């Protein structure tokens, strides 16, 4: 994953700039390893971003995280679900119509956004290193939609 995909508050780009399904899969694995508490992660997404969201879900699951697929929704749905259901973190996958880019926002267990100052660069380093050891048991998937 290119450093250029990392902004102060999210991961954003297009397939042409490197935000591919494979990249998203690795972001899911890195987030699973980075989150400090073991538990489920919620994922919600823009309807057009299902392939990217699905790749993140599978990356999380390969690292042993249970995933709640909230279906179509955005960051408010993710933050609400983290807070009410006690999730270990969350992911919102959206599309910025102005910039025409995919946007991935990552959240920790307190429903706070993971930013460049407190985790996005660490997650980027995990993706670049690629030293992922899959969990013995794949995480469970719960679909809400």
> What tokens does 89 get?
């973190």
Question: For residue 95, what is the enclosing H or E element?
Answer: strand 89-96
What local confidence, expressed as pLDDT, does residue 63 receive? 97
User: Where exactly are the structural domains of the chain?
Assistant: 3-129
Task: Return the half-sphere exposure (C-beta side, CA atoms, 13 A cut-off) of residue 54.
Answer: 6
Nearest CA-CA partner of 125 in 31, 17, 7, 62: 31
Pairing of strands 41-45, 67-72: parallel
Give 37: exposed, middle or buried? Use CB within 10 Å, 0-12, 13-18, 19+. exposed
Q: What is the mean pLDDT of the chain?
A: 95
Tell me, which fold does domain 3-129 have in CATH? Alpha-D-Glucose-1,6-Bisphosphate; Chain A, domain 3 (3.40.120)
* Rounded Cα–Cα distance for residues 23 and 19 (Å): 6
Three-state secondary structure along 97-141?
A: CCCCEEEEEEEECCCCECCCCCCHHHHHHHHHHCCCCCCCCCCCE
For residues 64-82, give the mean pLDDT: 95
Whole-prediction pTM:
0.95
Residue 35: other Cβ atoms inside 10 A: 24
pLDDT digits (tens, 9 = 90+) for 3-51: 889 999 999 999 999 999 999 999 999 999 999 888 999 999 999 999 9
Asked if the model's pLDDT at residue 145 lies above 80, the reply is: no
């Amino acid at each position: 994953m290119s450093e250029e995909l990392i902004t102060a508050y999210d991961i954003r780009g297009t397939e042409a700039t490197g935000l591919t399904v494979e990249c998203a899969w690795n972001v899911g694995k890195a987030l699973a390893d980075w989150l400090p508490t073991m538990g489920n992660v919620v994922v919600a997404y823009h309807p057009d971003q299902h392939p990217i969201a699905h790749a993140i879900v599978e990356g999380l699951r390969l690292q042993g995280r249970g995933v709640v697929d909230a279906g179509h929704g955005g960051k408010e749905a993710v933050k609400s679900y983290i807070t009410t259901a006690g999730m270990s973190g969350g992911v919102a996958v959206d599309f910025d119509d102005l910039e025409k880019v995919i946007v991935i926002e990552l959240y920790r267990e307190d429903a706070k956004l993971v930013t460049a100052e407190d985790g996005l660069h660490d997650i980027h380093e995990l993706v670049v290193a690629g030293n992922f050891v899959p969990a013995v048991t794949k995480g469970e998937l719960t679909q809400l939609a």
